[in-house]
Structure 1
């Protein structure tokens, strides 16, 4: 698998684990054209995300489940805050220009479509982010993470399960996030907004599998 963060055929959305700039209020839009994410480099509480080892895989499908697409996307930068061996916060930024289809790479009609206004409008919104706001422990490794997910300049709170391991100065995290893409204005072939699509209707759900490796 390529070292890429994945999002879903948009249904696609991403994406993403991934995502805009993370300071807007819930539901607001911000037409950010460049990254404004600032990291705490040198702060011993913060572990920098290894963008070569971290991967988000996206999965999208038709409503009937017969047509499924998967792919990847790059994390451009990010960090996790660790205190006493526990995850306390963090932020991840995704470069939407790196959207990739698993089977056909980056230069194909599907990927080009995902980048246009039907989906992520990447020229206008080149970055997406997720900022962790709360971590609830289930046990030593299993957590419920809450964060602000920003895509296309729109921010909503999301909560999802994750497994976190902190060992020998390295943080490893695996998470699964499922979103309703229409909340981030990704409406293409959604039954909520279009009638008579029949078997062309796309599911509103996008599934992200997120693998993160971070270190000081």
Structure 2
């Protein structure tokens, strides 16, 4: 494929896409088990419902004139509940499930996202978020801190989220914006390439997630 003649998409991975239903998740038969440890503390754990939870992505050129959107799916995860409040947790995203909203998984755009220019999915099939702290702000609004690992590289992140615990179910909606180059996603970044003109991709990546736990006491 020509080194993406598509000057439109960075990958603003809207990975924590809460408030969007998204398409029905298909089981990925090619996924391999990860080494993510899901138990990060003491207390009652609630498993994430991978059929109701979804990660969305949105991408654009630096000038924001061209955008693309799509989805990627959670393979497993759990939240630790203490005194009816989530306090920490883990989320694992299967990068093999990346899809474009309009054209699904089998297209040039998605294939390019999977290659070394972007997420090198064959070598790094999973992205993980280890949530280390959830601090109340007001009402259901929380400040979430954690460690995000992409392509084997880990950095601390902080982002706001709306988290509601009701009838034994946790539902969370949040938004995280990162600098993709910190995770070695350099494609058409002005930090590393000159004279890109209108083909320059924004370094910002936006994660938005919808997380719902399974009702189980």
Q: Secondary structure at the match of 1:176?
A: strand
Aligned-partner Cα distance in 1 for 2:106–2:86: 37
Structure 2: unaligned runs, 5 residues or longer:
1-7, 18-31
Q: Secondary structure at the match of 2:96?
A: helix
TM-score, L = length of structure 1: 0.84
Q: Secondary structure at the match of 2:182?
A: helix
8 A Cα contact 1:91 1:131, kept in partner: yes
Residues 136-164 of structure 1: per-residue CA shift (max 9 Å, x gap): 11013100101000000000000000011
Q: 1:60 deviation in Å?
A: 1.3
Q: Which residue of 1 aligns with 2:85?
A: 86
Q: Secondary structure at the match of 1:96?
A: strand
Structure 1: unaligned runs, 5 residues or longer:
1-8, 19-32
Give the number of equivalent residue pairs: 192
Runs of 4+ in 1 over 3 A off after TM superposition: 13-18
Aligned-partner Cα distance in 2 for 1:34–1:198: 41
Q: Which residue of 2 aligns with 1:127?
A: 126
8 A Cα contact 2:171 2:211, kept in partner: yes
Residues 90-132 of structure 1: per-residue CA shift (max 9 Å, x gap): 0000111000111110000000000000000001000110000
Alignment of 1:136-215 (within 5 A): 136-215=135-214
Q: Which residue of 2 aligns with 1:110?
A: 109
Q: Secondary structure at the match of 2:123?
A: coil
8 A Cα contact 1:10 1:114, kept in partner: no
Q: Which residue of 1 aligns with 2:66?
A: 67
Aligned-partner Cα distance in 1 for 2:9–2:146: 21
Q: Secondary structure at the match of 1:171?
A: strand
